[in-house]
Amino acid sequence: MSYRLRLVREADLEMVMRWRMLPEVTKYMYTDPQLTIEQQRAWYERMATSERDRVWIIESIDEAGAAQSIGLLSLSEIDWTNRRCAWAYYLGETSARGIGLAKSLELTIYAYVFDTLGLNKLWCEVFSFNDRVVALHEKFGSKVEGVARQHIFKNGEWFDVVRMGILKSEWDSLRDKWTWTPIEIESRPA
C-alpha cells in the first residue's frame, strides 16, 4: 500500500462535505457545520485559485494501482513574506485510522513546506483534549508554543487550544533521525 496527496477536485466536493460533517471528524474541529453543495462549491472556488491555501485529498493506492480517497490535508494561511503556514488534516474513512499513516503524512508535509516551498515555520492548532495528536506532533519535532485558554466556544462549552510549531532549523536537525516513505504530492499546474 502506498499513498499520495492529490489536489482536491470539484468531483470530491460531496465526499469532502460528508466527511466534514461526520461527528468523529467535527469533534476535533472548531465548528460543526451543516454544509450544502453550494457552500462546498464556493469553498472550492476560493481554494482552487488561492495563493494562501493548498488542499489535497489523501489517497491510498493498492498494489493494482487503484486509488481510494481516505482523507483531506491542507496548508492554509501561507504567508510568503514571513515564510510560514498552518496545516491540518483528517481521515474521513475510519478504515484509514490507526494504520501508521500519520508519521508519513507529518514528515512528508515537513519536507514539502521547508524544502519545496522554502518556508521557515509550520504551525497548527489542536484542542487541548486531543492529547494523542499533541503528543504525535511533539514526537516528530513540533513544540508547544502556547495555550489559548477558552479559545473556542462550541456546543455550549469552552475549549482550550494548543498552538504548536516547528521551524526549518529544527526540521534540518531532525530529518535524518527518521526513516519514512515519502508521500507523492501533486503540484498545481503553473
Strand (E) or helix (H) holding 74: strand 67-79
Q: 181 by DSSP, 3-state: which? A: coil
**Burial grade of 162 (CB within 10 A; 0-12, 13-18, 19 or more):** buried
Length of the chain as a residue count: 190
Euclidean distance between CA atoms 128 and 38, whole angstroms: 33
The pLDDT, as a whole number, for residue 190 is: 60
The pLDDT, as a whole number, for residue 95 is: 75
The domain ranges of the chain are 2-94+101-184
The pLDDT, as a whole number, for residue 76 is: 97
- Determine whether domain 2-94+101-184 maps to CATH 3.40.50.880: no
Strand (E) or helix (H) holding 143: strand 143-154
Helices 131-139 and 101-111, axial angle in degrees (round to 10): 50
**pLDDT in 10s for each residue of the chain, 190 residues:** 899 999 999 999 999 999 999 999 999 999 888 889 999 999 999 998 899 999 999 999 999 989 999 999 999 999 999 999 999 999 988 777 777 789 999 999 999 999 999 999 999 999 999 999 999 999 999 999 999 999 999 999 999 999 999 999 999 999 999 998 899 999 987 6
**CA torsion sign, 54 to 77 to 33 to 43?**
negative
The pLDDT, as a whole number, for residue 93 is: 86
Residue that the C-alpha cell 496548508 belongs to:
75
The pLDDT, as a whole number, for residue 145 is: 98
> Residues 30, 33, 35, CA angle at the centre, nearest 5°?
145
Q: What cell numbers appear for 128 in the block?
A: 487541548
The pLDDT, as a whole number, for residue 49 is: 87
